[in-house]
Amino acid sequence: MKKERIKIKTIIFDLDDTLVKTSKLYDQAREEFSLLMENSGFKKEEALAKLDEIDIKNINQYGFIKERYPYSLGKTYEYFSQKKGKEINPDLKEKIEDLGWQVFKKIPELVDGVYQVLDVLSQKYFLILATLGDPQVQEKKVQLTGLKKYFSVIYVLKYKNVEEYLNILKEQKLDQKDTWIVGNSVRSDLNPGLKVGLNCILIPTLTWKFEEEQPLSEKYLKIDSLKELLNYL
C-alpha cells in the first residue's frame, strides 16, 4: 500500500522576481538592444514596443523556451529593417540575438533576505517551487543559486494557469485552505491562485507587458518585500 505524505501547511513559491532578480537581466538586454537599434537609425521606444508585441506572440505560440527570446529580438530587428527598406546586416542580427542568449547564461542576483526567509519557512512548511521557463535554464538557476535544497518539489511549467495549479494540488495531495502561493505576478501567480482558492501573497515588482493584469479580487495579502513574509507565515 502506498504511504501518503502527512498533510502539512504548504507554500508554493514563484522563482523569477520573487526569489531571484530575473527582470534585471532582461532589462539590461533590452537597454543594449534599444541602443543598437537607435545606432542603426531606429527609434528606441518603437523598437521596445514592437519587441514586446513579437515576444508575447511567440510566448503564446512556443511557451517560455529559451530559444524564444533571442528569436524575438532578431525578428524585431528584421521587422524594422524591412519596414525602412534597409538591408539586414547578418552580423548585427547575430549580435542582437546574442543579447537574448546572454540572459540565460547569467545567474540572477538573489532577492534580499531569501536564505533567511527560506531557512525559517522550510522548517515549518512543505515548500514547493513552481516556475515558468525552460527546464534546463530554470534547473540550472535553482542549482547555482543554492535554492534547490529548500524545496521538496520543483515544477518547471510551460504556463501558469488554473489547470497547472490544480495538478500540483492533486499530485501533492494538498488542501486549498492550507496552501499558500507567494509570487510577484498578478497574471501568473495571483489570479490563478485566487481562481483555485489558494491563500495568496503578492510581492509586486516591476515586470513587463505580458504580466500586466488586474487582480480578480481583493482577497489576497500584498507585502513590500520577501522578508515581510516572516511576519505572516
Q: Residue 8 has what pLDDT?
A: 56
Which among 58, 89, 105 is the end of a domain? 105
Q: What is the pLDDT of residues 142-189, one digit of tens each?
A: 999 999 999 999 999 988 999 999 999 999 999 999 999 999 999 999
Which among 105, 125, 153 is the end of a domain? 105
Which among 72, 105, 138 is the end of a domain? 105
Q: What is the mean pLDDT of the chain?
A: 92
Query: Does any domain span residue 74?
Result: yes
* Euclidean distance between CA atoms 111 and 29, whole angstroms: 20
Q: In CATH, what number is assigned to the domain containing residue 216?
A: 3.40.50.1000
Domain membership of residue 171 as a residue range: 10-21+108-231
CA distance to 14, 34, 192, 194, 225, per residue, from 216 (Å)? 19, 34, 9, 7, 22
Instruction: Look at residue 3 and tell me whether its pLDDT is greater than 90.
Output: no
Average pLDDT estimate for 40-45: 94
Instruction: Look at residue 128 and tell me whether its pLDDT is greater than 60.
Output: yes
Q: Tell whether 96 and 151 lie within a shared domain.
A: no
Chain position carrying cell 502539512: 8
| Strand partners of residue 110 | 20
Residue 176: which of 184, 168, 186 has the closest Cα? 168
Average pLDDT estimate for 15-37: 95
Q: What is the pLDDT of residues 178-227, one digit of tens each?
A: 999 999 999 999 999 999 999 999 999 877 667 778 899 999 999 999 99
* Euclidean distance between CA atoms 150 and 129, whole angstroms: 9
Q: Tell whether 182 and 196 lie within a shared domain.
A: yes
Q: Residue 62 has what pLDDT?
A: 87
Q: What is the pLDDT of residues 30-41, one digit of tens each?
A: 999 999 999 999
- The number of distinct structural domains making up the chain is 2
Query: Does any domain span residue 2?
Result: no
CA-atom Rg of the chain in angstroms: 19
Q: What is the pLDDT of residues 180-190, one digit of tens each?
A: 999 999 999 99
Residue 6 pLDDT class (50, 70, 90 cuts):
very low
Q: Tell whether 30 and 92 lie within a shared domain.
A: yes
Q: Tell whether 82 and 49 lie within a shared domain.
A: yes
Residue 2 pLDDT class (50, 70, 90 cuts):
very low
| Strand partners of residue 200 | 181
Classify 136 as helix, strand or coil.
Answer: helix
Q: In CATH, what number is assigned to the domain containing residue 66?
A: 1.10.150.240
Q: What is the DSSP track for 75-97? A: HHHHHHHHHTTPPP-HHHHHHHH
| Strand partners of residue 131 | 156
